[in-house]
Amino acid sequence: MLGGTGEARALASALLARGVHVVSSLAGRVANPRLPEGEVRIGGFGGPDGLARWLTDHEAVAVVDATHPFAERIGTSAVAGAKAANVPLLRLQRPGWQPRHDDWHWVASLDEAAERIQELGDRIFLTSGRQGLAAFAHCARQWFLARCVDPPEPPLPPNIEILLDRGPYRVEGERALMREHRIDVLVTKDSGGDMTAAKLLAARELGIPVVVVRRPERPDAHTVHDVAAALDWVSAMLEG
């Protein structure tokens, strides 16, 4: 299981309850990650070839890629590595968010988001993760509130306040936070799921425009969108 998401933790728990041996692999980019039940390994594999060797050496019978929708590198390695090891692969990917009477501005990257905010506002709520803050380092006119799980490293925008926190969040809390800091633009990635969706509902209520970064393209793979479907797939692999 290539994990790190709530869906990965839920699937690991469900499989363990059925007596399935699961090894959950985390990238190790978060200092204190939420750990799933069962065996856990932390760190990369060394690309597709390294993953293929690991799968072969450990006699894996299936791979589930339940990584974050923006974990582009491991998603690509998963497809190539599983193919090289001749191990069936499933991608468990939560659906993306959909606008409903919202003022959303879709962009292809954080660099494009940094350009789009120039025409939208001056007080920006960044919820795109600590590794993407460098894209806004040249934005000297705006003030930023950046929410991250771990402290970010430079380069950073000159006018920035860092809020260390992790979800799940509630709409009332997000609404109060945006009001307190007089936010007039929200920037986020299309991560999907319920854990961090409250900010979108709060932005809708407050009439705040949202800049949304589209998900990166990934290689084709058999994909399901919920834990129940992934559980059925793994069960079928084991029965086969």
Task: Determine contact, residues 64/223, Cβ cutoff 8 Å.
Answer: no
Q: What is the pLDDT of residue 15?
A: 97
Task: Determine, yes or no, domain membership for 62.
Answer: yes
Q: Which residues of 107-121 are buried (b: 16+ CB within 10 A; e: fewer)?
A: beebeebbebbeebb
Note whether 115 and 194 are same-domain residues.
yes
Tens-level pLDDT at each residue, the chain (240 residues) = 999 999 999 999 999 999 999 999 998 877 788 899 999 999 999 999 999 999 999 999 999 999 999 999 999 999 999 999 999 999 999 999 999 889 999 999 999 999 999 999 999 999 999 989 999 999 999 999 999 999 999 999 999 999 999 989 999 999 999 999 999 999 999 999 988 999 999 999 999 999 999 999 999 999 999 999 999 999 999 887
Residues 6+ apart with CB under 8 A from 197: 97
Q: How many CA atoms lie within 13 A of 152 on its CB side?
A: 26
Query: The domain containing residue 34 runs over which residues?
Result: 6-95+216-239
Note whether 209 and 109 are same-domain residues.
yes
Note whether 109 and 91 are same-domain residues.
no
Sheet containing 223-224: order of strands: 63-65, 89-92, 223-224
Task: Determine, yes or no, domain membership for 79.
Answer: yes
Q: Which CATH number is 34's domain given?
A: 3.40.50.720
Sign of CA dihedral 80, 18, 193, 146: negative
Note whether 115 and 156 are same-domain residues.
yes
Q: What is the pLDDT of residue 207?
A: 97
Task: Determine, yes or no, domain membership for 135.
Answer: yes
Note whether 153 and 230 are same-domain residues.
no
Number of domains in the chain: 2
